């Protein structure tokens, strides 16, 4: 029953956000550079021409209409240039396959050589777009096809906002501080958001991670692909991170909701991070929050609700040893639901504090 209710809630939220309101996006349309938006003509050259023109003008918006822009290339977004849709997102795609029907300004991604979009300089951004992988496997497959990240952030002062992704493998990789991700609906099989090499704050607001692939096919949860995600997928990975700021974070059907750990890049000092957040809902997970390392003062989260995946729940919060620095986490308020094989929470202590959590 909880799964049904959670799914219904997710798609009620999607429908609420999926509006046709006009976005604040005024600039050159990719159509004026020759893009067709018909779902099969390769629009890569036209999109690149629009980006080049915006860069030559010193910045501006590259505007996508409500159409399906088929691409085979990757794009680097330079200083002051924003890729944006002509209407405001995120978008309601319930029961609609974006590869066949244009419900939003849509980019169809087929390239496997690297990140699809790289935000490469101050002021670069992505807003009000729907990203879709038309060649991804269906929900009846045992495992997804691995793609690189949809968006890679390499410069401060950048933003990713009001966008939706479906059928991705990994969605957003933030590799620098002073960036913002807000109002995103993330359908990614493996990793929703990864943060590393951030020597300053990153702001995450209103991020929803859900099983968009099942809804697109009208399939009943869980499907075979969901079994893979429940054993591999992570909604948020935080490596080296100074001052994480996350509020309004929802994840449904994942192996781990949030992983707080050391960076694989050991040249950094320290290799872990710290931060705070609130209003976090991790539903149908094996592990809600896993932490193995943190820098001072650790991680502090308020109003955290965590629900176990039926018959698979391991721990609402798990503290692992062996990290570069002692892990420290505090939870204040919230609740946990379901059965956890290792118990919902570790014993409270100097580094692990659980306060006022409802059973």
**Burial 158-194, CB ≥16 within 10 A → b, else e:** bbbbbbbbbbbbbbbbbbbbebbbbbbbbbbbbbbbb
73, pLDDT greater than 50? yes
Full domain range(s) for residue 10: 2-355
Question: How does residue 145 score in pLDDT terms, banded at 50, 70 and 90?
Answer: very high
> Where does 108-172 have alpha helices with state H?
none
**Which of the four pLDDT bands, split at 50, 70 and 90, describes residue 216?**
confident
Tell me how far apart the alpha carbons of residues 149 and 191 are, in angstroms, rounded to a whole number.
Answer: 9
Q: Residue 148 pLDDT > 70, yes or no?
A: yes
Q: Cα separations (Å) of 74 from 148, 176, 335?
A: 11, 20, 43
Token pair recorded at residue 25: 């996006």
In CATH, what number is assigned to the domain containing residue 187?
Answer: 2.160.20.10
pLDDT tens-place string over residues 164-178: 999 999 999 999 999
Read off the pLDDT of residues 2-22 as tens digits, 9 standing for 90 and up.
333 344 334 333 433 444 445
Q: Is 243 helix (H, G, I), strand (E, B) or coil?
A: coil
Distance (Å, whole) CA 339 – CA 307: 9
Q: What is the pLDDT of residue 76?
A: 98
pLDDT on residue 80: 96
Task: Judge whether residue 356 has pLDDT over 50.
Answer: yes
Overall domain count for the chain: 1
Residue pair 308/345 in contact (Cβ under 8 Å)? The answer is no
Residue among 321, 320, 346 at smallest CA distance from 331: 346
């Amino acid at each position: 029953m909880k799964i049904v209710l959670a799914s219904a809630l997710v798609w009620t939220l999607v429908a609420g956000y999926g509006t046709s309101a006009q976005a604040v996006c005024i600039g050159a349309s990719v159509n004026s550079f020759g893009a067709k938006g018909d779902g099969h003509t390769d629009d890569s050259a036209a999109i690149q021409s629009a980006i080049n023109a915006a860069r030559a003008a010193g910045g501006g918006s590259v505007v996508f209409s409500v159409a399906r822009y088929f691409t085979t290339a990757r794009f680097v977004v330079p200083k002051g240039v924003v890729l944006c849709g002509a209407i405001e997102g995120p978008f309601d795609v319930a029961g609609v396959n974006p590869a066949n029907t244009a419900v939003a300004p849509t980019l169809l991604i087929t390239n496997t050589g690297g990140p699809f979009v790289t935000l490469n300089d101050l002021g670069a951004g992505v807003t009000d777009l729907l990203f879709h992988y038309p060649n991804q496997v269906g929900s009846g497959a045992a495992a997804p096809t691995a793609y690189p990240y949809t968006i890679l952030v390499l410069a401060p002062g950048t933003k990713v906002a009001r966008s939706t992704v479906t059928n991705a493998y990994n969605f957003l990789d933030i590799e620098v501080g002073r960036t913002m991700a807000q109002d995103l609906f993330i359908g990614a099989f493996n990793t929703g958001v990864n943060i590393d090499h951030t020597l300053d704050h990153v702001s995450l607001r209103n991020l929803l991670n859900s099983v968009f692939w099942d809804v697109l096919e009208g399939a009943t949860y869980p499907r075979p692909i969901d079994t893979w995600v429940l054993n591999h997928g992570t909604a948020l990975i935080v490596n080296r991170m100074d001052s994480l700021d996350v509020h309004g974070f929802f994840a449904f059907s994942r192996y781990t909701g949030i992983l707080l750990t050391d960076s694989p890049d050991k040249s950094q000092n320290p290799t872990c991070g710290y931060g705070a957040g609130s209003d976090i809902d991790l539903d149908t997970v094996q592990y809600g929050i896993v932490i193995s390392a943190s820098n001072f003062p650790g991680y502090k989260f308020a109003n955290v609700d965590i629900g176990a995946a039926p018959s698979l729940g391991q721990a609402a919060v798990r503290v692992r040893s062996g990290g570069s620095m002692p892990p420290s986490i505090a939870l204040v308020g919230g609740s946990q639901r379901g059965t956890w094989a290792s118990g919902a929470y570790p014993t409270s202590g100097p580094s692990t504090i659980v306060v006022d959590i409802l059973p």
